[in-house]
Each structure stands twice: as C-alpha cells, then as structure tokens.
Amino acid sequence: MFRAGTATQYAALALACGVLSLTRTADSQAPTFRFHLIEATIGDVHRAIQDRQITCRGLVQAYVNRARAYNGTATRLLTEEVAVTHFPNYSDYKDAVEATARLASGDPRKTPPMEFGRMEPTASDPTVQQQYGMVVGVSHAGQLRALNTLNIRGERSVTCKGEFDKAQGLLPPAAPAVCQEFRKLPDALEQAAALDAKYGNAPDLTALPMYCIPFSFKDSFDTKDMRSTGGGDAHYDIDFAARDHTLVAQLRQKGAIIYAKANQAEYNGGGGNPGGSNVPAKVTQVNGAARSTWGGVPVNVYDTARQPSLGSSSGSGISVSANLATCSLCEETRMSCRGPANHNGAALMLPHKAALSFLGGAVGRDHLPRHRRCGPGVRCPEGPGQRLLRPARHLHHGASLNLAGGAARHGADTWPASGARRHAHRYRPRVHGEAREGG
C-alpha cells in the first residue's frame, strides 16, 4: 500500500495501520455502508470520503467535538477532609504523624505525612491550574484526560497562545518573534480543509495511504506545529520543536492529520528511588507512571476509577480505544506501549528498533537509543462492542508478522481490572455516544 523506496521507518508504521484497517468485503447481502465515527477504521474513513458521506475537515471536527466532550479531568483531589473516607484507619495514621513530627526526614521511626491534593497554577501558564498531590479516581466519570494538546490554532502552544497564533493580521507587540513563523503552520482543521480542496472525494490512496487519518502522538515525539515537552510542565522559551520527528514527518507526507499530543508519564518517568541523600518529606503517589504535571492524570477506558495501565504511553492507548483518534504513535523503553494497549483494548504493532528512526525525540528519561522503540496503536477491525482486551495476534489469525526487517511485538493477554476471564464480555468502554460531524 505504499510505493517502493519508502523509508523503512514509515513502511513499518504504514503496514501496521494498514493491516488493521481492512475494508469490508462488499456483497449483495451486505447492508448499505454508512459511516459512523465510533469504531471507524482507516478503511471506513477512506470509503466514507469517496462516497461523499464525510469531508476530511468534517471528520477532524468530529474528533475535536469528541475531545471537547470526553477529554476532561477524570480525577478529584484527595484532601484531608475526605481522607477518612478512603482510609478507614486514618485517625491512627494521623496520630503517628503527629507523634513523630520532630524526627528528621528519612528516620525509619518517622511516619511522614501525606501530600494531600490541591490545585496550583502551572509553571508553563499561570492562568492554567493543575491537580497536585494525591488524587482519586471517579467511577463512570465520562472523562479520560487522554490528550494534552489539540492541534487547534490558539491552543496548540503556550509560547504562541491565543492571539499570538492568529493566521492573519499583525501579531500583538508582546508576541515572541518565533510566533511569526509558527502561525504559518496550518492547524489540524486547516490541514484537513487543504486536503479537501486539493483532492475532494478522490484522494490518491496509493501515494497517500494515511489520507485524512487523525493521529495522536505521545508527547515525547517532536511536532513542529504543537507543544512538545515530553509531558513536562516547564516554562520553555519555545515549547514546540523546530522540526518533526522522522516518523511524524513521514506520516504527514503520506496524508495523515497531525491532530493531537497524547498524555504520558512526565518525561517518561515513573516511581522509584534514584538513590542519594535526599528522601521524600511526604507520602505521595506516582499513578503507575501515568501522570503529567501539564496534561494531568489519565484513566482507564473500561473503568475510569482505575489507572489506565502500567506504561508511560497511556494517552496513546486511551485515545485509540475511546476513539479520540484513529491511530496513535506510542513509544516504549520496556512496556510503555504494551501496557496501555493491552489494558485499554487497542491493537498494537511494536516494530524492532532497527526499523525506526530516533531523530526528533523530545526529552525523556532514557537517552540511550538502544532502549527506545515506538509503535502505532490502531483501531481493531471489529464491530461495535467487540473491542475486548486481547493480544494483537488474535486480529491476524496467529500470523507471525515481520515489519521492515524487525519482528512485530505482540503484547501479553493482560487484564487490568478485577474479574475472571469468563467475565470478559462484561467489559465495555465507559465512554459512549458520538459527537456529530462538524463543518
């Protein structure tokens, strides 16, 4: 589905997405095809565009509508006032904290206090507040916090926020000089409108196999038209990259919509003791390597009271499973792709590192290229309600796949929520409904 000579990095990704977007076989008994955003595959999108059921811009607007509806905060602060609700023996714990308060931090006899939840202004943008300290999940929250940035003009960068990113006219005097160049880059809706204007309902899918497919990207992938800080809340002078990561650039060239940045564990970090003389003064939580001081705390699609997974690419797995994006690029050192995919019911293809480029990665925990791989998370080609948690190999009839010289890694058949396997049919995403198509 792509021309000879395409770079091996893109070949792996294009094949991975293409394999999972098989179009339905037409026959006289099949019902008339009608596009639905929920559960839509790559093949569905292309067919709907060719049938004039949707436009590319309308598709992207529908995804924006879903993000507005379902990408909100899904956790609440755990304050001292509600601690007793979650910790039945909290009064005993509090007595121990007070009794050992004069002991030095790190003294094994000391009972450290909790870092209770609170709201604070972010360092990146003091007008934006974020949850700090302990938080708790909310059952049936209807929100997921899967994406931390949408590629929407005025929203896609803090450096060039609001009027600093307007497409036409003079910029305000306070606008950084770099915004003059940044604003020339089209946002996701403008990318889609340009494709509509050029191709209408007859895109060249041989040259553009990812035509109009909205992608989210783990925030450790550099994007030249969106904030790229590895999930970190830091006041960068310029918070977007000078150029795309190699894979982002190749997807852009093949027609993909560079739509959103997926939430991730900040700088790919997790819990643990780095050693040294410093010790924590309070008891806090690390949220299973799935929390960002800029993007917030994502939650599991199947149970919003739970953490999304172990693995830092949580937003990629969630955004695909909840259909907040058609495809997503994750990245892993050890299990950052496999955990979110397995625990949120998304298909994953994880190519060998030899098939991929390492040029254009934002800040992260491990800087050794030998550790890092990335892979696309994509929609399962099944009917509504059939996105159960299963390993990707089941989608390919047990075939062993080779992508551009590297083995495609399949995740383990893992279930994050309680309950035996015989209850698998009970698990359904907690986010339902379809935002109407716009524009």
For 309-326, the pLDDT digits (tens) are 888 899 999 999 999 999
The C-alpha torsion from 6 through 8 and 11 to 13, rounded to 10°, is -140
The pLDDT, as a whole number, for residue 29 is 61
The letter for the amino acid at 34 is R
Give the C-alpha distances (Å, rounded to integers) separating 141 from 84, 136, 177, 221.
22, 12, 41, 29
Angle at 74 between CA 72 and CA 79, to 5 degrees: 125
Distances (CA, A) of 66 to 77, 86, 215, 428: 25, 32, 14, 18
Q: Between 56-70 and 188-199, two packed helices, what is the crossing angle to 10 degrees? A: 160
Task: Name the CATH superfamily housing domain 8-23+32-73+133-152+187-272+281-426.
Answer: Amidase signature (AS) domain (3.90.1300.10)
Are 295 and 234 in contact by the 8 Å Cβ rule? The answer is no
Predicted local confidence at residue 195, as pLDDT: 98
Residue 333: its pLDDT value, please? 77
What pLDDT is attached to residue 388?
26
Q: Which among 215, 246, 217, 212 has a CA at the least distance from the CA of 229?
A: 217
Residue where the block lists tokens 């006289």: 28
Tokens of 121: 């202004």
Cα separation of 332 and 348, whole Å?
Answer: 12
Whole-angstrom CA distances from 224 to 125, 156, 186, 271 are 20, 10, 11, 30
* Whole-structure pTM value: 0.78
83: left (phi > 0), else alpha (psi -120 to 50), else beta?
alpha
Of 118, 141, 144, give the one whose Cα is nearest residue 293. Answer: 118
Q: What are the mean pLDDT values of the chain's consecutive 10-residue runs (439 residues total)?
A: 32 36 47 91 97 98 98 95 91 96 91 94 95 93 96 98 97 97 98 98 97 96 95 92 94 98 86 76 75 92 91 92 95 86 88 74 47 54 30 27 25 28 34 42
Give the three-state DSSP class for 431.
Answer: coil
Residue spans of the domains in the chain: they are 8-23+32-73+133-152+187-272+281-426
pLDDT, position 154:
97
Non-local (6+) Cβ contacts of 272 within 8 A are none
Residues 361-405 have pLDDT tens digits of: 755 444 334 444 556 665 543 333 222 222 232 222 222 222 222
**pLDDT at 433 (0 to 100):** 42
